[in-house]
Chains A and B, each alone.
Chain A
Amino acid sequence: MNFAKFGKISYVAETKLQEFEKHLETGKVMGTRCKSCGQTYFPPRADCNCLKGDIEWIELSGKCKLMTFSTLYFAPASFRYEVPYTLGVAQFEEGPAVLAPFSKEIKENEIKVGMSLRLVPTELIGGRMIYELRKADS
């Protein structure tokens, strides 16, 4: 199950969206779109609420703007060796939004709501795949 490799830790391995992780390995952040009503989804969904459509994969540019963020000093057990770490919510150029960790290359005092960022697929040690927020020009 490929999706079991997604995220710093994984809770869900079985999904219709296995392909998402494969795309991530090739450097692509993919959303989905409903062929019937045209609704774009990120995180991707296998089904559309219009109940009519076939879903297709679409590539997102990764270009996004920061909506909000927080640095965590207290974490769930599996993350206790990572603190402090910063999570952000950013809106893609294409419309949908993503919750993602910040790359360690950005210091907390450089982070400002509204700043331009890029969501970048990243492989972690051990082969796990995530995406992270980096500076727009990085």
Chain B
Amino acid sequence: MRKVGVIGVGQTKFKRRPDASIREIAFEAFKEAMEDAQITPKEIQASVICSATHYDKQRTPAGVVAEYLGLNPQPTFNVEAVCASSGVGLRIGWSFINSGLHDTVAIIGFQKMTELSSAEVQEVMGRSGDVMWESPFGTTMPAYFALYAKSHMHKYGTTEEQMAKVAVKNHFYATKNPKAMFQKQITMEDVLNSRMIASPLKRYDCCANSDGAACIILANEEISKNATDMPIWVTGLGLASSPMALTSRDPSFASFDCSSEAARQAYRMAGIGPEDIDVAEVHDCFTITEIINYEDLGLCEKGQGGRLAEEGQTYLGGEIPVNIDGGLLAKGHPVGATGASQIRTLVKQLRGESGETQVKGAKRGLAHNLGGIGMYCAVTILEV
């Protein structure tokens, strides 16, 4: 199998960006990735533009983004898998290179969550579930994950305090990531006393919408080896789906089937297991999601996710450091950019460029990117 390497990564700071358009935000991340890879736009043979396009004013944004980045006449198109858009985009870029069709591909994920008016966002948000059978009753994103939280609590005894620990950890690490939206530590009391959104999930159990972009440059083996002394290789890929309707899913509501399946595929492809992972980025759209992800990815036994969080085992120095860049909860979640941002964090870790939050000697990283209310899941394994 042809090897595929990551030769460049870039990311904007995640925050509200009333000062810039989507193409300009994408440019910032792209420029940083091109400087990191030390190549020019002419050398990019295809671009994969990733966003949840229902948040974009611009219809089919790949057109304006590729133009603004100087990537015409090379192929470009949009990939949409809601929050997993750029995780899926990475898989497509990998396939282009692995097949020999292209030698270098740019994956650009972006989102400007604040581009629509809040009334428009509310309207979009009301259609995040099955619009025939669920949205007519007023479901919301937090409500879907709250239903999982309540079930996980009932089945395994997971507590609101254990969930709060996840928020405290991720906000702690965000203060060490200059690209993160939140730069302030929070306490258990802050989380537990925050406003109820959808019981048992409170304000600090939920990730923050933000604006931003992230970019990953993939290349074939030869280019990767020439470009850098330390290419990072994409060695495992998994992509799976679950039913959209909640009622068609695993009735335990304590696990995301698409996560377990995508993880199984990625581990098998890389020929490793969860015990071999040194650092992980998992999709913490809500605190409960991070806890369930620990279990679905095999980082702990089923039902032990709450304990893992409670014991602080996912801090730097614990059993397995998770989301030590702040995660979606505190780094921010510009939907289309999140998957690529996770990859950027891992690449920095594996290169040893993570400063204060460096996992010493990290050789293998895993990124887990969940789409929407858990319909899509992309898992990616990177190795030095």
Contacts and interface: CB of A to CB of B under 8 A. Distances in A.
Given A8-B137, A12-B131, A79-B126, A70 B198 contact: yes
Contacts of A15: 132
Interface in A74-96: 74-79, 82, 85, 87, 89, 91, 96
Contacts of A108: 199
Contacts of A72: 138, 140, 142-143, 146, 197-198
Contacts of A11: 127, 131-132, 135-136
Contact of B197 (A74, A79, A89, A99): A74
Nearest to B119: A77
Interface in A98-129: 98-101, 108, 113-114
Nearest to B195: A73
Interface stretch (B36-44, B68-76, B105-113, B243-251): B243-251
Nearest to B152: A68
Contacts of A69: 147, 150
A78 B140 contact: no
A9 interface: yes
Contact of B136 (A6, A85, A113): A6
Interface residues of B, number: 37
B247 A73 contact: no
A46 B199 CA distance: 34
A130 B247 contact: no
Given A77-B123, A87-B147, A97-B247, A82 B138 contact: yes
B247 A99 contact: yes
Nearest to B137: A101
A77 B195 CA distance: 19
B151 interface: yes
Contacts of A12: 131-132
A103 to B, nearest CB: 12
Contacts of A89: 147, 246-247, 253
B14 interface: no
Contacts of A70: 143, 146-147, 149-150, 198-201
A12 B201 CA distance: 29
B114 interface: no
Interface of B: 119, 122-123, 125-127, 131-140, 142-143, 146-151, 154, 195-201, 245-247, 251, 253
